[in-house]
Each structure stands twice: as C-alpha cells, then as structure tokens.
A and B are shown apart, each in its own frame.
Chain A
C-alpha cells in the first residue's frame, strides 16, 4: 500500500469513531438531562409559551433524530449554534477566540514534558547506579499521579506569592498588547519582534506549562529508561563494543533507537493532555477552551458544553490520524498490515 492510500484508508476509519463519540455526547447531553432549557434556567416556573419560544429559537423543539442530524451537518459547516445563556451569541466565535490559548498551552506543555521526561530517562539510562534508575522510575510514577490543581496552586504560592517572580494568572500583564496573528501570544510576539511582549507572555506561560508538562513527563521518563535498557542489552550494542566504539558514542546510538517508541507515544499522550489542560486552565485562569467549558458548566449552558466536547472528539480523531501517519512514515512496515 502506498503512503497516500494508507492515509486515505486511515482517515476513513476515523469517521466511525468520531460519529460514535458524537452520538455518545448527544445522548449524554441532549437525552439524559431531560429538558435542557429548564436545566439551564434552573427553574420550572416559566410560562409555557416562553419556554416554547426559547426551544424554537435554539432548534430544540424538533424531534431528536432531526436535531441529531441537523446539529452534525451545521457543525461540519462551522455553525455550532447559539449559547443558551448569553442569548444570540454564536458559540463558534467563542471557540475560535479561545482555541489558540489552549493550543499554545498544549504546545509548551508537550515541549516541557518531552524535554523533562526524556532528559531524566536519558540521564538515568546512562547511569550505572541502580539507585538512580529506581529514583527515575519513582519520578515517573509519582509525577503521573500529581493532582494538577494542587501542583499548580503550590507553584503559584511559591513563585507568585512568596518569591514574587512570576504572575499567577492570565496570559499577559495589563498594558501589554500583542496584535493577534495566530492568537498564540508567545509566537505572535516573536513574529513581530516585540521582545518586551515576548518576555511578558513567556513569564505568564511558564507556570501553567510547567504544571501540565511535569504531570505528563512521567510516562516519557519510564519509556525512555525502559527502552534504553532494552536496546543496551541487544546485539547491536555487542557489535558496537566489539568494534571498539567508545561507550559515549554507543549511548548516543542507543538513544536514537529509543526515540522511535517515545515519539509515537506523544500521540497517545494527547487525550491526557486535553483533560489536563482543562484543569490547568482553571487553576491559572488561562482563558482557553477548558475555562470556557467550566464557565459553561456553571451556567448549565448545554449547547456550548456540547460544542466544546464535540470539538474535543474531533481533535482526538485528528491527532490519532496524525500519529498513525507519522508512525507509517517512521516504520514503513505498518502500511502493509
């Protein structure tokens, strides 16, 4: 199978997954709660005609199967309906406003987790002391179960309140302005060559990215360490040694071999990353999709909640497709399975 055909087949296989997730979300948020408008208003004392009018406005008066199809069709066109609480506000524009912040946080968190996780795994893998290896494994399993809000608030206390070196919330200091290009401030400031704004944006993202990155770094450490040990015992290393290659050069080669499974694991981390982003954003008042979702939960704004969760479903599908393709690029055997 050629690469192009492989990509097309994979892309088609993603469609049923997304449809299934959409159906689940639809059942959970549209069918289970009963009448969503009453839930959003938090009262049953509302005149029948007024209730009907709101239902009609939001398209909730139609039969469920019709809502199910219409919502999906509109969604694919980029129309995610209107908020139930802030009437007349299109959800799609809220989401385009918020999405870059989440993307920016995710990118930095992945970088932090990769550097920290693989770095510690590499150092432990090179070390001959079994205590260092034990400690690295312990680091891997303990960081994995740190509670994000607890860690984030702890960092806020230390760096924001006691040492007063880093801000504890928001994306920029008051008075700093960056013209949005991508909406990701650290990158926008770099593109525009605005050093002051760049430093300010970086200062704001350090703690959130560190919090999320630290929690995600554990599996990378364990994976790097385990794989380095495995490759170190393989025949390749015996061959290197028998040719008199220096031990340092051997570790470099071994490290390259271990990177392949680590890179593919990046894709699997994504689900964890999205869940973690919701908590990190809430902890740091980071105005992304996660805080948007939490805000909407407080107001029981079902149409907005549904839109955000379906966006997440699409993202998951997209990322698993990208991971599959990357994997096929690295390891051509996959294409023929």
Chain B
C-alpha cells in the first residue's frame, strides 16, 4: 500500500507529539513548574532548550505543555465535529424551514472571524482549558455543518437513498447507515484541516491568557511570557514554544493535504 508522503510526514509529526504528551513524565528531565537552574540560561547540555525567567527548564515545559494543547484541540474537534455533523445530517436530510433557519444561523457565524468569536466565548465562560475547548468547539460547528449539509443535499437524491425510502426504512437508519458512510472521506479532510485551525486558535487563546493559569505549562502562554524577555536576548523562550505550535499545526495541515490528494487521485481513476 502506498502512503502519500504528506500523509506520512503529517502523521509522524502528530504521533511524535502525542507520544510526547503520553510519556511526558519519562521524557521531561526536570519538573515543569519548579526551578532547576539559573534564571535565563541559554541552551546547554543540562538544559537543552535553556531556562526561563524563573529558572525552569524550557524543554520540560514544552514536553508537559503538549498535554494542554493536544487535550484542548482533540476535545474541541470532537465536540464541534459531532455537533456539526449531526446538525448537518439532520437539517440537510429533513430540509424545509428548519433547514433554512439553521443554515442562516450557521452561515452568519461562519462569516464572523472565528478567533474573535472564540475570544468572546472564553471570556464569558472563564479562562480554563475545558472552557477554551468548548469555546473553540462552538466556533467551528458551522465548518462541519456546511460541509456535511452540502454533501447530504447531493447524496439524498441518489438511487440508493430513494430505494431505502421506498423500502420504508426509518429516517434515522437512512441517515446514519446509508448516507453517513459516504461522508467519511470528506470528513477526514475537514477534521485534519480543522485540527490545524484549532491548534492555532488554542495557541492564540493561550497567548491572550485565556486558557491556563500560571504555573501550568502551555505553549501559547509560555510564548507570551517569553515575549517580555525578547530584549534580554532570551530567544530560546520564544523559538521553542513558537516552533512547537507551528510544527504541530503544520503536521495537521500536511495530513489534510495528503488525504485530499490521495482522494482526488482515487476518484480520478
């Protein structure tokens, strides 16, 4: 079996970060929240990514910080994917006034800058990781809704759906057993692209202080703190958290690129 190189590289990056999060206790050489060296030490053998303004090991904070961002992102994508898919399936299949009203609401939210909506929601809900996940999830429901609904509209007039209807199968069975499986490939592309967006949104909320409270390690928040030491030349406080956020987002972007490429090829053959 041939794996698309983009899919392979993307998956490898994501898996590396997942492993890092799972094995954080083993990988991290020091505590992420307690000082283990002098203040603002540049990278060395003892601290491969240097130390921060409180003498904490930057590498250990990166390792433990992967837990925060991955948890928030996976939770957010799962919630918004489930909500958006179910809403899209139902309203797309049923149609009528409900479909028009929900589509209108979804389109309006979709037009609004997602980051600003996520900011408003997490301000209102209060700054903690769970609320950040909910805020990000609600922001991205329209992304799934629009895609699923569009596909349902085109599939529902196909012969096999007409036949299932003629056989008198219950509506929920038609939707979930006969229509839904056809949406899985597209859903996979949207899932991975949306995960990249969710990584960036989580990091942005953290950067604005809306996800965790100190001393919890978190890439976006650590980047924000590092910003205060840019004049002191502490580039390692910026480069590592910022680089990790970007790398994780690129991993998801490559995955979605790969899936959509191999799918385009398949449908072409």
Contacts and interface: CB of A to CB of B under 8 A. Distances in A.
Contacts of B197: 145
A151 B210 CA distance: 20
A283 B242 CA distance: 12
B208 A297 contact: yes
Interface stretch (A53-61, A253-261, A270-278): A270-278
Interface in A148-164: 148-151, 153-154, 156-157, 161
**A-B pairs with the 4 shortest C-beta distances?**
A150-B242, A275-B115, A275-B113, A145-B249
Interface stretch (A2-10, A22-30, A81-89, A118-126): A22-30
Interface residues of A, number: 47
Contacts of A17: 104, 107-108, 111
Interface in B117-144: 119-121, 123-126
Given A147-B246, A293-B119, A297-B210, A153 B113 contact: no
9 contacts: A17-B111, A147-B242, A149-B220, A151-B246, A274-B116, A275-B113, A275-B116, A279-B115, A297-B208
Interface of B: 104-105, 107-109, 111-116, 119-121, 123-126, 196-197, 199-200, 203-204, 207-210, 220, 223-224, 226-227, 230-231, 233, 235, 238-239, 241-243, 245-246, 249-250, 252-254, 257
Given A29-B123, A146-B246, A149-B224, 16 more contacts: A20-B108, A32-B124, A137-B257, A142-B250, A145-B196, A147-B203, A148-B204, A149-B220, A156-B230, A274-B113, A276-B115, A278-B116, A279-B207, A297-B119, A297-B123, A313-B112
Contacts of B226: 153
A142 B114 CA distance: 19
Contact of B112 (A147, A276, A316): A316
Contacts of B223: 149-150, 153
Given A153-B227, A309-B116, A24 B109 contact: yes
A141 B193 CA distance: 10
A29 B135 CA distance: 13
Contacts of A151: 242, 246
A28 B203 CA distance: 22
A32 B125 contact: yes
Nearest to A305: B123
Interface string A293-326: 1100110100001000100110010001000000
A33 B227 CA distance: 30
B105 to A, nearest CB: 6
